[in-house]
A = this chain, B = another copy of it.
Amino acid sequence: MAAQNRYMAVALEEAEAAARRGEVPVGAVIALDGEIVARAGNRTRELADITAHAEILAIRAASARLGQERLTGADLYVTLEPCAMCAAAISFARIRRLYYGAADPKGGGVDHGGRFYAQPTCHHAPEVYSGIAETAAAQILTDFFRNRR
C-alpha cells in the first residue's frame, strides 16, 4: 500500500490546491510504471468548462504527454468517487486500476447512479479500490463547503 498512499497523498495535495483556487476540491493522479505521468485538480470554474474535472484533466494531460489515446496499464487515483462522465472517460482511456477516496452517493457514477462499469455498454472496467484516504478526502470537501456558507 505504500505506493498507493503516496499517490493518493499527491491527489489530496491537488484537491487542497483546488480549494485554494475556489474550486470544488477534488484532485487526481495518474501513475504508470511507478511514475506520476499526470496530476490535476478540478478547474471547472477557472476554465468555465464543466468537463474540467480533475480526472478528465489528468487523463488529457497523460495522453498529451504520452502521445496516445489509451493509457493501458496506468492507474488513476482520485480523492472523490468519479461521476458518470469521469467513470466513462476512465474506461475509454483503458485505465487499469481506479483508486478513489470518499464515496459520492449524490453524484458518483461508479458505485452509485448508473454504475457504469457494471453496464453491458461498458467495454473496459478498471479494477476499483475505494476508501483510500477517505477521511482526509471527505474532510477537504466538508471544510470547503462549510467555508462557502
Contact = CB atoms under 8 A, between A and B. Distances in A.
Q: Which 4 A-B pairs have the closest CB atoms?
A: A114-B114, A113-B121, A85-B88, A84-B88
Interface stretch (A8-16, A42-50, A139-147): A42-50
7 contacts: A48-B68, A84-B85, A84-B121, A88-B109, A105-B121, A107-B123, A113-B119
A121 B116 contact: no
A21 B63 CA distance: 20
A83 B84 CA distance: 10
A114 B121 contact: yes
A26 to B, nearest CB: 14
A121 B107 contact: yes
Contacts of A87: 84
Interface string A106-121: 1111001111100111
A92 B48 CA distance: 12
Contacts of A68: 48
Interface in A30-78: 44-45, 48-51, 56, 59-60, 63-64, 67-70
Contacts of A107: 121, 123
A122 interface: yes
